[in-house]
Structures are given as structure tokens and as C-alpha cells.
Amino acid sequence: MRRAYGVGGLRSWHHLSDADILAVAVATVLGAVVGAASGVCVGLVVGLGRRRWFPFVACAILAVVGSVAAARSWAEASPRHLGPFIGWAVVAADPVQVGRGMRITWEIEGERFDSWVYGGARATTEARQVGEMVWTSGTRMTTAGNVRRAQTRHVVGTFRVEVLGDVVPGNGLARAGNRVRAALRRSASQTMRPAEAALFTGLVIGDDALQPQWMVAQFRRAGLSHLTAVSGQNVAFVMAAMLPLLRRLRSWWRWAVTVAAILWFMAITRFEPSVLRAGLMAMLSATAFVLGRQVTPLRLVGLAVTLLTVGDPMLVHLVGFWLSVGATLGVCTVGPWCAARLPGPQWLRVSVGISLGAQVGVLLPSLMVFHRLALVSVAANVAAVPVAGLVMLYGLPAGMFASLLPGWLQRLVMAPAALGTRWTATVAQVGAALEPSGVAAVVAWCIALVALAFALFRGHRSRSASRLVPF
């Protein structure tokens, strides 16, 4: 039973609604980005508007916490140790192809440094994975170029590699995750073409390090780049695969296994911003379920954003985080609204509605960072997402199992995943080719918006009329 409090003639409920939770998330983010005062202002507006004092207090407290956490993170983003180093360096992030070289991030004496390697050294570092320890020597220097961008990844400087020596596997969790990633890469590389093999690991576990730049450009132009960023869909498929086991467990054991499985999958996918958001939402949902409480997706998004911002304020400066959050909010709000008003069969309305909601949700970050929003993205997502979803669901267990099989059996097991991956790549290729640019894009967007408005109006009228017809 909720308790009422009276302050200055205003009655406040010691309870936060979904809107209050979202307001707290906004206040926390503003506190981390702008300062505590901005978050307190959000709380004041919400408190006065809803005539309750508790939302204001919650917003104010979390704004201050977010501001303090951000100040601490920026302070820790400055290097404490520079100069020569000889010893063991831990691989902190998988090597990423940058032009003709590879960028690898090391953790040295508790600090992260970026290295760019070329030529023969590139082949040596390309196979390295997170958690491995490499005997190396080189020089630690301050970051040259975009310092702030490096700091948002908790990178404090640059490490100029001179010698790379022995390699030692990491801890148990790192070794387990690396074995899974290596098995998936091996199964894909032996049954698919190189570009499609890189796309397969990107779809399943977000491992797109070997994806060629031309394919990255195609997926981005077609509005499908989110498919290679692990999201709630991947987490849901992992839980679906474990459902037969979870059904046999008691409530709290089911919760423990669910949380452990999510953490394991998050570790495999390297705790990317999108999987952090999706994984935390899934764990909050599992916790609410075992406690016998119902939570809405909007509440879960607000709680996840608040907790992640406090835990790692640098996330609010990463576009991947906001694309993930925006798409989720769009799917939860705009998606059902569009699906209820579009004409056509239900399966098509739901698919188009979800795609439209996701595009609306990522509109602002896409325009601010990429300066464009793909016109063909809705059609491309309708064509690619269901098949890519099947690859995500089937690919993880199939890839791990196929890595243990001989050649022809391996190809047989991986055939559905290979076919689905090729279909997804083809949709991206066609979508990128059809995407207009320049004046043609402006004209096409105007036509598309008019057609969408007409479809929503017509679908809404037909459903309203059908409810008035007696049967």
C-alpha cells in the first residue's frame, strides 16, 4: 500500500511511475553530461508538474550522483604513467581494422592504451583476443588526435609497440569466451566466403572486427548496421534457446541461471554498449518476475539507463548506446501505435510498425552523427530482420557444434546459417544500391512521408469503421 506525504499542501506518493523513472534517467544523464543543476531543474519541473515531491528528490539525487560519477571518470581518463614499458600487457579490446592497419587496446598497469600496428606486426596482433597477456615492450605516450573520443573508451594514451613476445591465455572467463568466439569464427570461415563469415559472427555475437569496410558501408547506407550490434533480440534468442532448461528449475534457481547466462553472453560480446543495455534490461525483467512484479518496457529502459550512467558515465558519449536506447524506446512506443493504424495483415503491420518505431527512435542520433537517415531502411529491415533473427537464434549453438565436426558435416550443419547470412548481405547490397542521395533523397522522403501519412489515416479509418459494423 502506498504511503501519502503532505508537503506545503501538495500530496506526494512514495511511488515512481514509468514517466517518473524516465525523468530520473534524463536527470541522471544530464547530470553526467552538463552538470547536476540541469538534472535538478528536470526534477523540479517534473515535481511541480505532477504535484509530487518524491520525483523531484529522486531526480535531484541521481543528477548529483551522475555528475560526481562523470567527474571521477574524466579524472581517471588522464594517464598516470608514461614513458618506456617492458612487461605483460593485457589485451583490453579485440583488434579492429583501421585502414591498412589494426588498432589494438592494451591494459598496462591498470590503464588503457591504443596501439596501431602495420605490416608484419598486424598479422601477429590480428589473432589476439580480450584477456590474453602479451609480453611486450614499447613507449607510453599521450593521445594524439581526438583525445576526448579516446577517453570515452577509457583510453588514456597511445602505446608505441616495439617488441611483441610470448602470449599467455587470460583468466577462466576470458578463455571460455575466446573459445566460443574462436569456434564460431572457425565454423564460419570454413563454410562461408570471408565477408559473409565476418558478417555471421557480427550477427551472432557482434564480432564485426573482420568485416570489410565496403560491407560496413553497405549496411550503414541501407539502415541495417544495427544487425551487427548485439541487442535485446540476441539476448532474447539466447534465453529462448535455454527455455527448456529454465522451465525445469524453481523460481530462484531459474533467476540465478538466467542472470548467469546473460552475464556469460555479455562477456562473449565484450560488454558493448548495446548489449549492456539489453542485458541489464533482461536481468531487471527476470528479477521483477521472480519477485512477482510487473514492469513495462519503458520502466526497464529508464532503470537501465540510470544504472548504466551511474556505473559508467562514459557510455552517454557513445553513439552506439543512444542508438540502442533510442531504437528500444521507438519500438516500445511508436511501433505499437503505427502497427495499430497501418493497413494490411497483422504480421506485416507489426513488422513495419516495429521498423518505423526503431527508425523514429534513432532519428536524432543518426542525423547528429551520420547526418542522414536511410530511406530504404524500413523495407530493408522488413526483409532482413526476420532472417537475421533466425541466424542469431540458430547460429550460436550451430556454430559451436559445427566446429567439432569434419568438413562435409560442418557444411551441412552451417548451411541454414550460411543461407540466412547471404540473404541478409544481399538485402543490404540491394538496399544500399537503391538508397537515393542528394535532391532525389529529399524528394523521395517527401513522397514516403505523404504515403505513410495516408496509409496510417486509411488504416485507422478502416479499423474504426469495422468496430461500428454489427455482426
**Average model confidence (pLDDT) across the chain:** 84
How confident is the model over 154-190, as pLDDT tens digits?
999 999 998 888 888 878 778 888 888 889 999 999 9
The model scores a pTM over 0.75: yes
Instruction: Give me the DSSP letters along 365-425.
Output: HHHHHTS---TTHHHHHHHHHHHHHHHHHHHHHHHHHHTTS-HHHHHHHHHHHHHHHHHHH
Domain chopping of the chain, boundaries = 4-76, 83-170, 186-456
Q: pLDDT above 90 covers what percent of the chain?
A: 34
If one compares 78 and 55, the residue with the highest pLDDT of the two is 78
Q: What is the pLDDT of residue 464?
A: 55
Q: Of the spans 147-156, 163-172, 332-341, 352-361, which averages the highest pLDDT?
A: 147-156
The fold for domain 83-170 equals OB fold (Dihydrolipoamide Acetyltransferase, E2P) (2.40.50)
How confident is the model over 113-136, as pLDDT tens digits?
999 888 777 777 878 888 899 999
How confident is the model over 424-451, as pLDDT tens digits?
999 999 999 988 877 776 776 677 777 7
Instruction: Enter the C-alpha cell of residue 426.
Output: 544481399
If one compares 60 and 15, the residue with the highest pLDDT of the two is 60
Q: Cite the DSSP H helix spans in 77-151.
A: 120-126, 147-151
For residues 129 and 452, what is the distance between their CA atoms, to the nearest angstrom? 46
Question: Please, is 356 exposed, middle or buried when counting C-beta atoms within 10 Å of its C-beta (0-12, 13-18, 19+)?
Answer: buried
Element (H, E) at 136: strand 133-141
Q: What is the pLDDT of residue 1?
A: 36
